[in-house]
Chain A
């Protein structure tokens, strides 16, 4: 009797518990890296963690269930996939609705990226839980721990995408006017007629130039969605000096057609160029922008 119980424990309960713990822990770890990709309100965290817990339960259950020839477990995974897809859509729609009233928009590309990350992280959690429970079932506690560490590490590596700082040199640049035309470095940004607005822009704006490091970087920076994401994160870092009825202070990014460099200006509340440059460097490279920059061998 005792032997049966121990056998049951090491073959089902232990793998399940280890998978559950590893899955939930990996969701907690991934939560730390997504502060720019999602508003970090407490209820947001709760939603992420609860879903991570559910995902890890499903992942951890799969191995013991399949080993007991309970093949319906596979159906549950398919159900979970449907559920997480619905959640992505909900996330996507909510963020887009909120955009309508935002002073500085994220842009559709960024919203799409955030929603995708939200969905994908749950699948990664299922993966971690599944591998951990498999390891624990085959090799006991040491196997479970090793599988958890390995899959957790791979998971974190997978989720840390590239950042703008890796594809471009980010430098501060001079903001100036030629007549009514606003320039950042050599790039013309826009035409501001009102002298009062020009004065405010000159006083408070920070200009930034992004020089792509290679051709792929150039294509990524050319993507308007990527530029909007940069503007959004940059404005969030230093605070935006505008209100709904003041469009003269809308931050913009424009491209130097000769070099592919991108210049942007941010009318900042907190005129701190170092903070701004760091924020720009840490903007994630969006999947949609990267799609347009396929590496080619020749040319």
Chain B
């Protein structure tokens, strides 16, 4: 049996340098294309979903 956390933010992918700290790893990216790519890879690796907070930040959440 495998255990995994769910309904938590596993990672933050952001364009906004002001985003700092918190419980999840933060990935700073240069532009939206990189943000898409990083989020896509992370969501596949973690079996989680990327959500757009519409402020330049994507969060990767396991449901």
Contact = CB atoms under 8 A, between A and B. Distances in A.
B39 A193 contact: yes
A180 interface: yes
A248 B49 contact: yes
B47 A245 contact: yes
B47 A247 contact: yes
Query: Would you call the interface of chain A mostly helix, strand, loop, or mixed?
Result: loop
A196 interface: yes
Interface in A219-245: 244-245
A194 B40 contact: yes
B48 A193 contact: no
A2 interface: no
A194 B44 CA distance: 12
A180 B48 CA distance: 16
A192 B58 CA distance: 10
A248 B43 contact: yes
A191 interface: yes
Contacts of B63: 247, 250
Contacts of B44: 245-246
Given A194-B36, A196-B36, A180 B51 contact: yes
Contacts of A179: 52, 54
B38 to A, nearest CB: 11
A195 interface: yes
Given A247-B43, A247-B63, A195 B51 contact: no
Interface of A: 179-180, 191-197, 244-248, 250
Which 3 pairs, one residue from A and one from B, show the smallest C-beta to C-beta distance?
Answer: A180-B52, A193-B52, A193-B50
5 contacts: A194-B39, A245-B44, A245-B45, A247-B47, A250-B63
